[in-house]
Structure 1
């Protein structure tokens, strides 16, 4: 499930992820990416993973398509998580993109938000 969080930064998509992310959830983010790109060069992300279990199969496929279409449009990414696999996934994302990607523990949420807004 995807819950969009309020953000004061114009080019930031801020969301809380829990359970499994569906195709519909990814489509919501994709729509927000397009809205931001109308007025900005890059899209930044803040993802807070609270009891996050990954994607449905259709959600995963939709995410791959979205990332393929917009990978050069991504700026900074802050990933806040609670599990080791989330930290590893963040490191893999950092390796495969030119974006600046950083992982934060759940206790560092405020630090993550400060970093992404700089």
Structure 2
């Protein structure tokens, strides 16, 4: 059996005194992945202070999007509507630094790319 894992997991992680919204993208994301995550995201965001959001995005197992899913991702970013203070993307993709630069155009806060979890976490709580 050839199983291809894909999807988005979301959680809240404590780093020091900070509550960080954590996303992990796995495999090639589909439109159905975004349809499944929206209710979970809405529920998770109810416990977050909308004036102070920090996000950690793990793309170490991410391999891309189907075309419609890329559009879903863009719309999801607009939908969040929170004042995002910082977003740290970490992984080993050659395009992630460019994605962080482009993503920062659409955010009120900062977005940076990192090669490892530890560097990303330190920057978020700094």
TM over 0.5: yes
Structure 2 match to 1:3:
9
- 1:32 partner SS: helix
Structure 1 residues 37 and 6: alpha-carbon distance in aligned structure 2, compared to 1, 3 A threshold:
closer
Shift of 1:117: 3.2
**Number of residue-to-residue matches in the alignment:** 115
Cα distance in 2 for partners of 1:109, 1:100 equals 17
TM-score (norm 2): 0.71
Residue of structure 2 equivalent to 1:35: 44
RMSD: 2.6
- Greater shift, 45-54 or 15-24, is seen at 15-24
Find the aligned partners of 2:48 and 2:57 in 1 and give their Cα distance.
22
Cross-structure match for 1:26 = 34
Question: Which position in structure 1 is the counterpart of 2:94?
Answer: 84
User: 1:112 aligned to 2:120?
Assistant: yes
**Which structure's residues are more often helix, by fraction?**
1
Which is higher, the Rg of structure 1 or of structure 2?
A: 2
* Structure 1: runs of 5 or more not aligned: none
